[in-house]
Amino acid sequence: MEFSEETTGALKPCLLRRNRSREHHGAAASCLEELRSKACDILAIDKSLEPITLVLAEDGTIVDDEDYFLCLPDNTKFVALTCNETWKYSNTDGGTAWLSQDSFETKDEPDGMEGCRWKNLAQQLKGDLSSIILLSEEDLQVLIDVPCSDLAQELSQSPAKTQDLQNTLQQVLDHREEARQSKQLLQLYLQALEKEGSILAKQAESEAPLDEVDSRVAGLITLSSHVLMVLKEKSSPELSLSSQDLELVIKEHPEALAQALSWNLEKAEAVQRACQQQLTLRLQQVQSLNALHSISAGKNSPTEEPVSLKRAK
């Protein structure tokens, strides 16, 4: 596309990227029309997806005014949206947020820091694979978003193994999100139970009194109301209890547990067996993780210290 002398002026350096992409491309344009045209060419946007809309990467502001475009500082970051796309926020976008910085080197600092960050995380995994559990969700996402070939080179691993590692990182991230959602649901459920506490207390008082033997057995129960609620309401309560609560359930007398939950003895014993199996599984996972850490630490040089929980924090 040609631009007349009336529409052209001093070239303004800009940074362009596609929606949901981390790769920025430099371009210089004297007007919006020229920048849109270059965006289509540089970002390889199909002609069928035009016209494109340019928005600020920082906050999604649509830039369609020529005077506003000319007022923007050099190296402003733009996102090119096709006709069927909407802007999505990304915490890696700089936009115009760096206007208060003093020099061009300072402006480029976030991208450099981001590059050093994933390499440092990769080196941490290379030294101790078990440190995956110490990574924050943000760190996990950074490693997932790194191109597989670059991460493979940094880890000195094959692309196939690196892809498996990134899949594992994604699974860890997904499990944490599921755990967060489960915790939120449980909190809402407990809040609802707390509000209905008076009603539940009245219902308990209206139940038939225990006979002398049943009262003696029920008195052996030392579990909290929360643990009893989980045992009674969850189909697989062993998955929702902490390891400490699992130990308490296992130590309870089966008859006392059955009486407290209005179960038969067989069901109480089955739940205790499930709790025992879950606790054993968790202990095995901890032992495996410690063994992995020891093996990894043994590969370090004598002057290097293995990654520990305290240092990782």
Among all chains, which residue has been given the structure tokens 């293995």? Answer: 306
Nearest of 18, 6, 1 to residue 93 by alpha carbon: 18
pLDDT band at 275 (very low <50, low <70, confident <90, very high): very high
| pTM confidence score | 0.31
Mean predicted confidence (pLDDT) in 74-78: 91
Helices (H), the chain: 32-42, 66-71, 104-107, 109-127, 137-145, 148-155, 159-195, 197-206, 212-218, 225-233, 243-251, 254-261, 265-299, 309-312
**How confident is the prediction for the chain on average, in pLDDT?**
78
Handedness of CA 229, 231, 236, 240 (dihedral sign): positive
Nearest of 263, 203, 202 to residue 228 by alpha carbon: 263
Among all chains, which residue has been given the structure tokens 């390891």? Answer: 243
* Ramachandran sector of residue 228 (left: φ over 0; alpha: ψ -120 to 50; beta: rest): alpha
Residue 210 above 50 pLDDT?
no
What is the distance between the alpha carbons of residues 64 and 40, in angstroms, rounded to a whole number? 16
Compute the half-sphere exposure of residue 11: CA atoms within 13 Å on the CB side of its CA.
Answer: 9
Nearest of 97, 80, 85 to residue 41 by alpha carbon: 80
Among all chains, which residue has been given the structure tokens 């407290």? Answer: 260
- The pLDDT of residue 77 is 92
Max mean pLDDT range (125-139, 214-228, 238-252): 238-252
- The pLDDT of residue 276 is 94
